[in-house]
Amino acid sequence: MARDHSPKERQRQQLERKLGRRASHDRILIVCEGSKTEPNYLGEIRQAYRLHTASVQVHPSALGTDPVQVVQYAKELFEFGDKNKGIQPRAFEQVYAIFDRDEHRSYFDALTMAESLNGRLKNDSKRLVRF
């Protein structure tokens, strides 16, 4: 019989895969009004804080720049995903819609819509999503 501290046993323990110790991060979807400035700015913030691109994804709104359209696109992108962009349906814990206040007439409607979606949608792991 081999002892607990025999060379073979010690070698086996050293070669075993170690369990991960990092905490998992929330997956975040950010949909913004602009197609260049905001994605670049948010991409630089992501790099500065060394956030993995799998954790934070930034996309411009494909429906338009009106605040309601930005919120609507964020909801659609979350619910249905986009194979071309590599986004799976309901694959995020947090969704953000970023738009300017400016002179938009639908600004307050967009805030109301986003507030109504907060905590109402569920992701792929059946957890409520912060919107």
* Two tokens, residue 63: 């429906």
Kindly report the number of other CB atoms within 10 A of residue 70's CB atom.
Answer: 28
Strand order in the sheet with 94-98: 56-60, 28-32, 94-98
C-beta of residue 111 within 8 angstroms of C-beta of residue 122: no
For position 26, what pLDDT does the model report?
A: 86
Question: What average pLDDT does the chain have?
Answer: 88
pLDDT of residue 5: 65
- 26-64 as b/e, with b when 16 or more CB fall inside 10 Å? ebbbbbbbbeeebbeebeeebeeeeeeeeebbbbbbeee
Please name every residue paired with 19 in a beta bridge, in sequence order, or none if there are none: none
Q: How would you classify residue 7: left for phi > 0, otherwise alpha for psi between -120 and 50, otherwise beta?
A: alpha
* pLDDT computed for residue 3 by the predictor: 58
3-state class (DSSP) for residue 104: coil
Which has more pLDDT, 18 or 31? Answer: 31
Dump pLDDT digits (tens) for 69-112: 999 999 999 999 999 988 999 999 999 999 988 888 999 999 99
For the full predicted model, state whether its pTM sits above 0.75. Answer: yes
Residue 49 has pLDDT above 60, yes or no: yes
The reported pLDDT for the residue numbered 111 is: 95
